[in-house]
């Protein structure tokens, strides 16, 4: 069966190389599920990058009904790795409430190491590890490099990836053709890694300009730092 957003397990890890668009996807995924009537928890495991964090969207997400778990130092100028006890509580809740969607936004390649602390929760039940990838980012332009980063994430987190999120874009300059041109590359990566493409991400402004029923339209959730 083809893997889609609607067939995903309810415990979802979102990971990828720096700048791949993990947080943007994770925040929009949380909005997608809560708007469909599901109970949703978003856990910000970004212990590396102080600039693009799911925590920046906490107020908006909680207003929609998303339960947010964020690092102790998120939204401050202190960037010391810190994993609050509430992370453990969120994972325990995912076991008690199997119908709840729990999304973990894993920031940075090294951030995947934090997953090892909670490995038993993933081993005990079903999970998804979605690899977010952008063909146009440095170090992932070549298929071999993109696969290598995936394997490093798997090794660090002690989890196997279950799907690919194709998020090739050029930021605000992205045209529909940029995404379409990258689709063959994403298909080749899917074959190389032995993983299905769960969806192709595109900005809401491009709705109607792309073919396919697996397009996941999003709004920009990352703050401007310049």
Average pLDDT over residues 175-203: 98
CA distance 68 to 43: 6
CA distance 142 to 17: 13
- Please report which confidence band the pLDDT of residue 13 belongs to, taking 50, 70 and 90 as the band edges: very high
Q: What is the pLDDT of residues 32-60, one digit of tens each?
A: 999 999 999 999 886 655 544 555 778 88
- Over the chain, what is the mean pLDDT? 87
The separation between CA 23 and the C-alpha centre of its own chain, rounded to angstroms, equals 6
Contact 16, 210 (CB under 8 A): no
The backbone torsions φ and ψ at residue 206, rounded to the nearest 5 degrees and listed phi first, read -100, 5
Residue 18, pLDDT > 60, answer: yes
CA distance 167 to 180: 11
CA distance 159 to 145: 19
Residue 109, pLDDT > 90, answer: no
Contact 115, 12 (CB under 8 A): no
pLDDT of residue 57: 79
Q: Domain 9-74+86-218: give its CATH architecture.
A: 3-Layer(aba) Sandwich (3.40)
Long-range contacts, stretch 16-19, CB < 8 angstroms, 24+ apart: 16/131, 16/132, 16/133, 16/134, 16/149, 16/153, 16/165, 16/167, 17/109, 17/133, 17/134, 17/137, 17/139, 17/140, 17/146, 17/149, 18/49, 18/108, 18/109, 19/134, 19/137
Q: Report domain extents, the chain.
A: 9-74+86-218
| Gyration radius from the chain CA atoms | 16
Q: What is the pLDDT of residues 118-148, one digit of tens each?
A: 888 888 778 999 999 999 999 899 999 999 9
Residue partners of 96: CB distance under 8 A and separation at least 6: none
Q: How long is the chain? A: 226
């Amino acid at each position: 069966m083809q893997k889609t957003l609607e067939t995903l397990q309810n415990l979802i890890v979102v990971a990828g190389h720096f700048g791949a668009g993990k947080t943007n996807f994770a925040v929009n995924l949380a909005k997608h599920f809560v708007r469909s009537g599901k109970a949703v928890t978003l856990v910000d495991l970004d212990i590396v990058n102080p600039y693009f964090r799911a925590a920046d969207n906490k107020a908006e997400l909680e207003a929609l009904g998303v339960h947010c778990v964020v690092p102790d130092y998120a939204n401050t100028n202190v960037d010391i790795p810190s994993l609050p006890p509430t992370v453990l509580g969120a994972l325990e809740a995912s076991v008690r409430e199997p119908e709840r969607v729990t999304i973990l936004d894993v920031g940075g390649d090294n951030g995947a190491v934090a997953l090892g602390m909670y490995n038993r929760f993933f081993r005990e039940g079903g999970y998804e590890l979605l690899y977010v990838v952008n063909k146009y980012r440095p170090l992932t332009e070549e298929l071999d490099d993109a696969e290598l980063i995936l394997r490093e994430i798997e090794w660090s987190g002690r989890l196997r990836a279950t799907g690919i999120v194709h998020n090739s874009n050029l930021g605000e300059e992205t045209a529909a053709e940029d995404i379409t041109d990258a689709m063959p590359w994403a298909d080749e990566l899917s074959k190389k890694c032995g993983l299905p493409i769960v969806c192709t991400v595109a900005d809401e402004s491009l709705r109607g300009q792309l073919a396919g029923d697996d397009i996941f339209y999003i709004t920009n959730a990352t703050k401007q730092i310049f």
